[in-house]
A and B are shown apart, each in its own frame.
Chain A
Amino acid sequence: MTRQDRKQLRAGLGFTSLWIFGLAAFTAYPVIASFYYSFCDYSILKSPVWCGLENYQQLIHDDLFWKSLWNTLFYAGLSVPLGTATALGLAMLLNQDVRGKSFYRLLFFMPSIVPVVASAMLWLWIFNGQYGLMNGFLNLFLERFGLHGPAWLADPAWSKPALIIMSLWGTGNAMVIYLAGLQNVPLELYEAAEIDGASAWQRFRHITVPVIAPVVVFNGIMALIGAMQLFAQAYIMSEGANGNGNASDGNPARSTLFYTIYLFSTAFQDLRMGYASAMAYILFVITAVLTWLATRLSRGQYEDAL
């Protein structure tokens, strides 16, 4: 290494030194420590005691673990594709030659910055079975057939769909990203295709899709990672809709016991930090695998579309 190299290295490390510390203290250490804790009996009050694979073995036989995993996959599996479709659909509408574009964009975007606690309260009220807006609206139609809207968050069959519907309200963020992606498509491409006699569907399939696909995949993955960590809405709304009891019970009938909620209550209410760390690591692996799968799958499709 020359003197110049060393000088540059020193400058580089100097500027990034805050991050070197931050990465070590707030990411690297926790990632390593929770890996270690996952093999320990640890209550935070006493130092961790090594117990080998016990936590993982227990997890396999833990019904609540499987329940929470199923709930989470159900939620993520529906909310991410539906959310992506909604965001993409809205972006494509706004990518047309229409009046008041920036106004619509503002309206669609606004819900996505509402604090999650406030939106949870609002949707708790909207989904109120008796006096809520959702059933007030649905019953206008359903009552003609002698039917009523469900109790939503108080009904195990409808609590997750309610959370999924609520999540669609917050897709404005993704919409803005997709709209920017769509606007990157050179207009001449469409014009050239039209002159060559390509139909609207063909233009969409062979021009829009290839351009927007990488953006959709990247944001879809981020949405998936987010959905796998669903916490606040479910934590707040489950308690609000089902009255007394613990907010992390996942009421009604454990139908909103999501992965992070179970992890949170295991760690901070039962003080079983080792067990919770094992859960966290399984989530880590699942997230990594899903991310990898999504990139792989989409790469194939993307090339196909070209």
Chain B
Amino acid sequence: MVRQPKVTRFAVQVLLVLFSAAFVVPFVWLISTSLKPIEQTLSLPITFIPRAYYATIGGRRMEVTLDFAVTQPGAVVRYLSGDDAGKAGFLGAKQLAEAGASVQVIHPVAAGSWHITQRLGDRLGENAVSPVWDVVPRDQVDSHIKIRWANYPEALSALGGDAESDRHRVGFWTFLGNSVTVAVLGVLGTVISNAIIAYGFARLRWRGRDAFFALTLATMMVPFPVLMVPLYGVFRTFGLIGTLLPLWLPAWFGSAFNIFLMRQFFRTIPEELSEAARIDGCSEWRIFWRIVVPLSTPVLVVAALFHFIFAWNDFLGPLIYLTRKDTYTLAIALQSYESQNGGIQWHFLMAASAVTILPVIVLFLLAQKTFIRGIATTGSKS
């Protein structure tokens, strides 16, 4: 930290505020969209605050959705033929004349400023196929803030699509269970295996150790695509494609990054502790288990956190190995949800994304200090 003149400090503060706004706005937009009704995700100018709209129709004040605003005369019509048969829309006076008998006029619209609204109950209710349209003077529509929490359960129940397994419906809880399984089994494997391996590299002296460690570090440079095809072949030979096993099993056999991380930490534990134990006739395994492990909680936690995040966020692995919907992790389910319906329902997609993000953010906020310290140590190679 360097002491600076006041002007510089002010400039730094301003820059920091601007940058953090840029980093935070996407999160705000995510949450804001996830709480909006669908039509507000598809209207301009964009807004951040979800609102509800009300209009008085036939003497009753009711919640409506604003479908669009018109100023020109024309009519709300229902198409009777062609590709759009059965659907409704607005036609201007000229188009209306051209359309002739191919449309049925529902509401004539006079010159002025109008909102064409749809009654809210109809969107999800029994009239969903043939919604009730109203034409309301624009100045008679009012609105206030309304947060649509219901998007969340609706988005999550839509996540599974119409897939079903033999026993139960495949949906959000299945995907969550799969993600948790992969992450937890992977975390256990990572912590246990790498601690044992790193002990061998950090606290024991044996012929070939340093060469083997150099080789270990070199494997970090191998791009995953190089391993992808043969790994798929191996798991296929054992009939494991379409199961969760390929996603967590390798974690039980060490990884260069974690070995490196833990070795660095183990080396900081005073050698005298081990020596004293050896003189007392302690086996290496006991020294590892009774002395080194209890002193190494911070690094074990860091490795566990990193692996949890890696496993939770992994996309390519599950994309390759998971073939059946009932084995999907949340990440893959989210991606397949995006592509399963023609038009993207942004409010649902953002709600489902927010739910996928939540566990890692919560974990991070709980273990913030450990995280930051862990990352800071991984960045320096010495």
- Residue numbers of A with Cβ under 8 A of B are 1, 5, 8-9, 11-16, 18-19, 21-23, 25-27, 29-31, 33-34, 37, 44, 90, 93-100, 104-111, 113-118, 121-126, 128, 130-131, 133, 136, 169, 172-174, 176-181, 183, 187, 190, 214-215, 218-219, 225, 228-229, 231-232, 235-236, 239-240, 243-244, 247, 259-260, 263-264, 267-268, 273, 276-277, 279-281, 283-284, 287-288, 291
Contacts and interface: CB of A to CB of B under 8 A. Distances in A.
Given A104-B16, A118-B356, A122-B26, A31 B372 contact: no
A124 B346 CA distance: 10
Contact of B9 (A16, A97, A287): A97
Given A18-B254, A133-B29, A30 B193 contact: no
Given A37-B230, A247-B339, A93 B15 contact: yes
A288 B221 contact: yes
B233 A284 contact: no
Which 10 pairs across A and B sit closest by C-beta, in order of nearness?
A22-B253, A177-B379, A15-B200, A12-B206, A180-B376, A19-B254, A30-B230, A33-B230, A136-B46, A30-B227
Nearest to B334: A117
A23, A44, A128, A181 — most chain B CB neighbours (10 Å): A23
Given A190-B2, A218-B381, A121 B353 contact: yes
Interface of B: 1-4, 8-9, 12-13, 15-16, 19-20, 23-27, 29-30, 33, 41-46, 193, 196-197, 199-201, 204-209, 212, 215-216, 219, 221-234, 236, 250, 252-255, 259, 284, 288, 309, 312-313, 315-316, 319-320, 330-332, 334-335, 338-339, 342, 344, 346, 349-350, 353-354, 356-357, 360-361, 364, 368, 371-372, 375-381
Contact of B221 (A106, A178, A225, A280): A225
A276 B221 CA distance: 19
23 contacts: A8-B204, A15-B200, A16-B197, A18-B254, A22-B254, A26-B250, A27-B227, A30-B231, A31-B226, A34-B226, A96-B4, A104-B20, A108-B19, A111-B26, A115-B312, A123-B26, A126-B26, A187-B1, A229-B223, A267-B229, A283-B225, A284-B223, A284-B226
A174 B335 CA distance: 27
Contact of A273 (B229, B313, B332, B356): B229
Main secondary structure of the interface of A (DSSP, over half): helix
Nearest to B344: A240
Contacts of A122: 26, 29-30, 350, 353
Contacts of A126: 26, 29
Given A15-B199, A27-B222, A110-B361, A98 B46 contact: no
Contacts of B315: 115-117, 231-232, 235-236
Given A30-B228, A276-B228, A277-B229, 5 more contacts: A22-B252, A25-B253, A37-B230, A136-B45, A218-B379
Nearest to B189: A18
B381 to A, nearest CB: 5
B376 A177 contact: yes
Contact of B230 (A34, A90, A172, A288): A34
Contacts of B231: 26, 30
A279 B228 CA distance: 12
Nearest to B355: A118
Given A96-B12, A229-B225, A280-B228, A16 B212 contact: yes
A121 B380 contact: no
A107 B20 contact: yes
Contact of A115 (B197, B228, B360, B364): B360
Contacts of A291: 221
Given A1-B207, A16-B200, A215 B380 contact: yes
A57 B78 CA distance: 60
A131 to B, nearest CB: 6
Contacts of B2: 95-97, 187, 190
A143 to B, nearest CB: 11
B197 A260 contact: no
Given A122-B350, A283-B226, A169 B26 contact: yes
A263 B316 CA distance: 12
A121 B334 contact: yes
A229 B252 contact: no
Contacts of A97: 1-4, 9
